[in-house]
A and B are shown apart, each in its own frame.
Chain A
């Protein structure tokens, strides 16, 4: 079974530039998550989708971050404009729908803002 695919693996941009990350979840997984992991910290949930609808985006900085999952499969996370403090690993995860099901993570995209 293929895992959660993310691209790119690494990205370096200057502050105030924009960047986009892509995620392809495990086939059949209705729930998709984006997490931000700052070095030395645990992953922080940014947004959760159920199919193509947003379940929770309370921790997404909406003035600069946006995410979509238009067809209920792939998802993109965008940052515009980027700030230095956005440097982190952006993790995508997916799970089957329903409660008490584990989330499977991709390898993440490491973003460095200079």
Chain B
């Protein structure tokens, strides 16, 4: 499944499928980006980060892609599990370690 964060804030995927969550950021000077996961009643939790001198970074089951030309980030989750159900935010660092968050995408994993 795939979403555009600002226009389709809800994404539903079958357990075991891959998920793609998209984010458009606003500031071309942003040089550091983080994907956060937020479960109900909890604060955002770090998933993966990427610096502007990279276009791809992989973690455990997650991959972040950065396209600076169109100011676009995506988060790919492989073999999505029920525990992945949450709201996902991209955050951009505009400098001075100040993080600005996008609208978020709610991911629901269907068992």
B28 interfacial contact with A, CB 8 Å:
no
Having A95-B97, A99-B97, A107-B43, one finds 7 other A-B pairs with CB under 8 Å, namely A35-B101, A42-B101, A42-B102, A48-B97, A55-B96, A99-B93, A99-B95
Q: Which of B53-104 contact A (CB under 8 A)?
A: 89, 91, 93, 95-104
A104 interfacial contact with B, CB 8 Å:
yes
Question: Could you tell me if A105 and B49 are in contact, using CB atoms closer than 8 angstroms?
Answer: no
Question: Could you tell me if A105 and B97 are in contact, using CB atoms closer than 8 angstroms?
Answer: no
**Residue in A closest to B100 when the chains form the complex, CB atoms:** A45
Question: Could you tell me if A106 and B103 are in contact, using CB atoms closer than 8 angstroms?
Answer: no
Question: Could you tell me if B32 and A106 are in contact, using CB atoms closer than 8 angstroms?
Answer: no
Closest chain-A Cβ to B110's Cβ sits at a distance in Å of 22
A41-B103, A55-B96 are known contacts. Are A100 and B51 too (CB-CB below 8 A)? yes
**Residue in B closest to A101 when the chains form the complex, CB atoms:** B97
B34 interfacial contact with A, CB 8 Å:
yes
Given the complex of chains A and B, what is the CA–CA distance between A45 and B45 in angstroms?
A: 16
**Residue in A closest to B101 when the chains form the complex, CB atoms:** A42
Please pick, from B46, B100, B101, B103, the residue contacting A104 in the complex, using a CB distance under 8 A. Answer: B46
**Residue in A closest to B95 when the chains form the complex, CB atoms:** A99
Question: Could you tell me if A100 and B41 are in contact, using CB atoms closer than 8 angstroms?
Answer: no
In the complex, chain B residues whose CB is within 8 Å of the CB of A100? 31-32, 49, 51, 93, 97
Closest chain-A Cβ to B40's Cβ sits at a distance in Å of 11
- A-B pairs with beta carbons under 8 Å apart, 8 shown: A4-B43, A44-B101, A100-B31, A100-B49, A102-B49, A103-B91, A103-B97, A107-B43
Closest chain-A Cβ to B46's Cβ sits at a distance in Å of 5
A61 interfacial contact with B, CB 8 Å:
no
Closest chain-A Cβ to B50's Cβ sits at a distance in Å of 10
B7 interfacial contact with A, CB 8 Å:
no
Given the complex of chains A and B, what is the CA–CA distance between A49 and B99 in angstroms?
A: 13
Given the complex of chains A and B, what is the CA–CA distance between A12 and B32 in angstroms?
A: 37
**Residue in B closest to A95 when the chains form the complex, CB atoms:** B97
Q: Which of B32-46 contact A (CB under 8 A)?
A: 32, 34, 36, 41-46
In the complex, chain A residues whose CB is within 8 Å of the CB of B36? 105
Question: Could you tell me if A102 and B103 are in contact, using CB atoms closer than 8 angstroms?
Answer: no
